[in-house]
Amino acid sequence: MTTSGMTPQSTMRRRGNAKGKQQREHEQQDRKGREAKVKKLKDGYEEALKELGDLRKKQREQQVSKLLDAMDKSGKTFEEVIRLIKL
């Protein structure tokens, strides 16, 4: 036994437990970092998806407007245009 009353084996166990605790803390920090990165990427994805939906809606509105303008200029009725499209 040492003067502190601890055997060399118990001293080594204490050091091992301290290393284990440090490793667990490091792993926890890594996990939190990965979770933050995933959240940031997910938020960016959701924002891009919303923007894409908004742009797609705007595109459809422009297509409808062009189609109606073309119908008016051609003198064709809605039914005639639909029949032509279905050919």
Residue 3 lies in a domain: no
Q: Is position 20 within any domain?
A: yes
Please check whether residue 51 lies inside any domain of the structure.
Answer: yes
Q: Is the pLDDT of residue 17 over 90?
A: no
Residue 82, CB half-sphere, CA atoms under 13 Å: how many? 3
Q: Which residues contact 2 (CB under 8 A, 6 or more apart)?
A: 8, 11
Q: Is there a domain that residue 40 lies in?
A: yes
C-alpha distances in Å from residue 64, one per residue of 50, 53, 60: 21, 17, 6
**Domain limits for position 32:** 8-86
| Residue 32: inside a domain | yes
Instruction: Determine the average pLDDT of the residues in 22-26.
Output: 89
Q: Classify residue 34: in a domain, yes or no.
A: yes
* Lowest mean pLDDT segment, chosen from 3-17, 34-48, 69-83: 3-17
Number of domains in the chain: 1
Is there a domain that residue 79 lies in?
Answer: yes
Q: Is the pLDDT score of 14 beyond 90?
A: no
Mean of pLDDT values over 79-83: 90
In a domain, 65, yes or no: yes
Q: How many CB atoms lie within 10 A of CB 22?
A: 10
